[in-house]
């Protein structure tokens, strides 16, 4: 399920259910590719055997920024702004990673709009 709206209607969506994306699997291959792209080869992400033995999570976890980067394709499934010609990543406030995403697990987009701020002109 997704929500289609216009730029003018976006503020009215605050707190409403927007829908959910398809599940996205975070495979070990995806984690390894992200490590190669970013240069972050910390063992907790890429050394499966060591992560199983030594990690408090019981196995390798995806990078926080990997899970954050998955928001864009998932969010695109959830919200369509019909009169926007393009989107620009303006930034995020207060991003935290309280729950790691283990490799071979799946993520889904958040279904609710929580912002009360106006959408910046950079998104138009």
Per-residue three-class SS string for 29-80: HHHHHHHHHHCCCCHHHHCHHHHHHHCCCCCCECCHHHHHHCHHHHHHHHEE
Distance in angstroms (rounded) separating the CA atoms of residues 115 and 101? 24
Q: For residue 81, what is the DSSP state?
A: E
Q: For residue 120, what is the DSSP state?
A: P
pTM summary value = 0.76
Q: Identify the pLDDT of residue 116.
A: 39
pLDDT by residue, tens only, the chain of 124 residues: 678 889 999 889 888 888 778 888 889 999 999 999 999 999 999 999 999 999 999 999 999 999 888 888 888 888 889 999 888 888 888 888 888 888 877 665 554 454 434 333 222 2
């Amino acid at each position: 399920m997704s929500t289609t709206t216009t730029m003018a209607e976006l503020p009215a969506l605050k707190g409403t259910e927007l829908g959910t994306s398809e599940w996205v699997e975070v495979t070990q291959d995806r984690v390894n590719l992200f490590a190669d792209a970013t240069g972050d080869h910390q063992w907790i992400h890429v050394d499966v055997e060591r992560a199983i033995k030594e990690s408090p999570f019981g196995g390798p976890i995806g990078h926080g920024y990997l899970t954050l980067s998955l928001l864009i394709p998932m969010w695109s499934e959830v919200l369509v702004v019909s009169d926007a010609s393009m989107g620009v990543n303006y930034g995020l406030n207060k991003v935290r990673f309280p729950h790691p995403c283990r490799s071979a697990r799946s993520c889904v987009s958040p279904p609710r709009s929580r912002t009360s701020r106006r959408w910046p002109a950079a998104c138009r």
